[in-house]
Amino acid sequence: MRLQRGDDLSRFRWLLVSRLVIFLLISGAIFFFLRQENLLYPLLVLYGLGTLVYLFALRRVKKVGDDTPYPGFLGFQLLFEVVLEGGIVHYSGGVTSPFILLFVFSIISGSILFGLKGGLLVATWAGMLYEFIIWLEIKGILLSPVGSISYPSDKIFLALYLYICFFFLAAFLSGFLAERLKERVEELRSASTQLSRAKLETDDILLHMRSGLITLGRNGEIAYFNHTAEEILGRKREEIVGRDFEQVISSQFPELGELMRQSLYSGKGESRGELLLRGGKGEIPVGINTSVLRGNQGGVRGVIAVFQDLTEVKKLEEKMRKADRLAAVGQLSANVAHEIRNPLSSIRGSVEVLKGELKLEGEERKLMDLIIKESDRLNGILQDFLSFARPGKGRFKTLDLRDLAKEVAALLRRESVKPQMGTIEAKLGDVPLLVRGDQDQLKQVLLNLGLNGLEALERGGWVRFEAIGSGNGKVRLAVRDNGRGISPSVREKIFQPFFSTKKGGTGLGLSIAERIVEEHGGQIEVESQRGKGTTFFITLEGEGYAGG
């Protein structure tokens, strides 16, 4: 026989308790009305104690962590119960005994524990034992405590037949109900498992989605608040969920609170909107959509707000606008610069010829030298401008950024006009920083950054080329100095063309460096603090090596 699940054992315990109560009521009536001097009372006491012991045993089995006790233990208990019940029936009147109902309890117990087959087996065993007791009483082998049986044999047979039919009917009904109940329990358990799994998956998805999600209930209480909302708004879920949004959202982010308030009270969502949130993390641009949850009657049940941090998007948009502006201005300016460069070369050449043919002395010779010098300076400015406006197509190959940094450091040491101001250092480690790029262009980037660092030094300072490392397919190189540093207002403009804080500077060095790095698919970033120095970070795609 197949033992039922642990849930059935719980129901079996309740059956034991209920039948113990009924047994005590019947026993009380027997004690008051029959008052017999035989083995009935010890058997009743034994039966009651056995039920209590059985209940205790089932509790002990549950406590030690086993949901299903051994089938042999349960089967033996049922057989023993039926024997006790037979004895109780015999000593309480045989065919007329009020305790025949105890057999039905055992049959129901067998159905609950072992299903329909178990109930039928217990019913068969109870019926055989009951017939055998009545037969022994009729034959005089067992003396009935209430006197000899005086019923006609046909009436005794009818009583036996009806009782046995009742036993099997109870077995069929209880077994059928137990099986049906088991099926329903399995269905409910399966549905509950699927529902829990679906809820877990849904919660997991919503909790970790890359958009902020806030859900309001009908009365404005916050019902849901995911991880991304925590990151954007700087508030913890535990502090938010269950509280009124006016207290925790509107008080800190009035623009967001006002949008959610309008959606909640007007019943109209916002399809696409942008807000500038001002909080602990500064100003954060967000794109937001709100939707209204409606009930079956069309009433407002709540509001869903989905929002994204647009900081990176805004930066990208600004870069694209800047690139478009520079492309248009660069094209026009390059044409103008080209037209200026040609006559400038003619002017310089003519001045060189006149200088060689004329006998100039004193002030006239100085003026001629000044014309040549300024012409060279203008030509250099135009060359830088053309390099920025029309960057040449690089000859890309695999190279090690460390080698370029070493060459630039050596060049700066030789050519530095202020060697007394500081030292040039190179801390590049042993790990290659392999990239694919144009050697001359990347060297120009490092040279521009190194020269800027030297210009910013006070006496005794240093400029350092430092390998940051590589990972995730990227390599990073830093150019540091401990010079004057850059103020925040200036730092925002240093990559703009023609912006310079140096006397006589063209303002194109950093613009050209940024453009070259971007042409190589990388990015250049700056960190600086007044009086503590500046660091430029160059990040490029790695080539064939991703060490760390």
In angstroms, rounded to a whole number, what is the distance separating the alpha carbons of residues 509 and 499?
A: 10
Q: Which amino acid is at 185?
A: V
Q: What is the mean pLDDT of residues 127-133?
A: 86
Is residue 489 within 8 A of residue 452, CB to CB? The reply is: no
Least confident interval from 37-46, 372-381, 464-473: 37-46
The tens digit of pLDDT for each residue in 264-317 reads: 887 777 666 777 877 656 678 888 888 888 877 767 778 888 888 888 888 877
pLDDT at 240 over 60: yes
Cα 382 → chain centroid:
55
Name the architecture of domain 314-389: Orthogonal Bundle (1.10)
pLDDT band for position 535 (50/70/90)?
very high
pLDDT of residue 332: 63
Q: Which contiguous run of DSSP H or E holds residue 340? A: helix 311-357
Q: Reduce the DSSP state of residue 128 to 3 states and report it.
A: helix
Cα 543 → chain centroid:
33
The tens digit of pLDDT for each residue in 486-519 reads: 888 888 888 777 677 766 566 677 888 888 888 8
DSSP label at 433? -
In angstroms, rounded to a whole number, what is the distance separating the alpha carbons of residues 105 and 171?
A: 10
- Give the homologous superfamily in CATH for domain 396-541: Histidine kinase-like ATPase, C-terminal domain (3.30.565.10)
What residue spans define the domains of the chain?
6-189, 209-309, 314-389, 396-541
Regarding the domain delimited by 209-309, which CATH topology (the fold level of the hierarchy) does it fall under?
Beta-Lactamase (3.30.450)
pLDDT of residue 62: 45
Q: What is the mean pLDDT of residues 380-405?
A: 74
In angstroms, rounded to a whole number, what is the distance separating the alpha carbons of residues 488 and 482?
A: 17
**456: Cβ–Cβ under 8 A, 6 or more apart, which residues?**
481, 483, 484, 485, 533, 534
pTM: 0.42
Of 218 and 337, more confident: 218
Of 367 and 448, more confident: 448
Q: Reduce the DSSP state of residue 143 to 3 states and report it.
A: coil
Which residue is listed with tokens 């405590």? 145
pLDDT at 536 over 90: yes
pLDDT of residue 189: 79
- Environment class of 113 (CB within 10 Å of its CB; exposed 0-12, middle 13-18, buried 19+): buried
The tens digit of pLDDT for each residue in 139-165 reads: 777 766 655 555 566 777 887 888 888
User: Across-strand partners of 374?
Assistant: none
pLDDT of residue 208: 73
Of 182 and 384, more confident: 182
The length of the chain in residues reads: 548
pLDDT at 44 over 50: yes
Angle at 169 between CA 168 and CA 172, to 5 degrees: 85
pLDDT at 537 over 90: yes
Structure tokens at 160: 């036996």
The closest of 509, 508, 447 to 479, measured between CA atoms, is 447
The tens digit of pLDDT for each residue in 192-205 reads: 777 766 655 666 67
pLDDT band for position 64 (50/70/90)?
very low
Structure tokens at 97: 């005994």
Strands (E), 33-145: none
Instruction: Please give the full DSSP string across 476-537, using - where no structure is assigned.
Output: EEEEEE-SS---HHHHTTTTSTT--SSTT--S-HHHHHHHHHHHTT-EEEEEEETTTEEEEE
DSSP label at 119? H
Radius of gyration of the chain (CA): 48
The tens digit of pLDDT for each residue in 352-372 reads: 777 777 777 777 777 777 777
**511: Cβ–Cβ under 8 A, 6 or more apart, which residues?**
388, 495, 496, 497, 498
pLDDT band for position 544 (50/70/90)?
low
pLDDT at 71 over 80: no
Mean pLDDT of the chain: 76
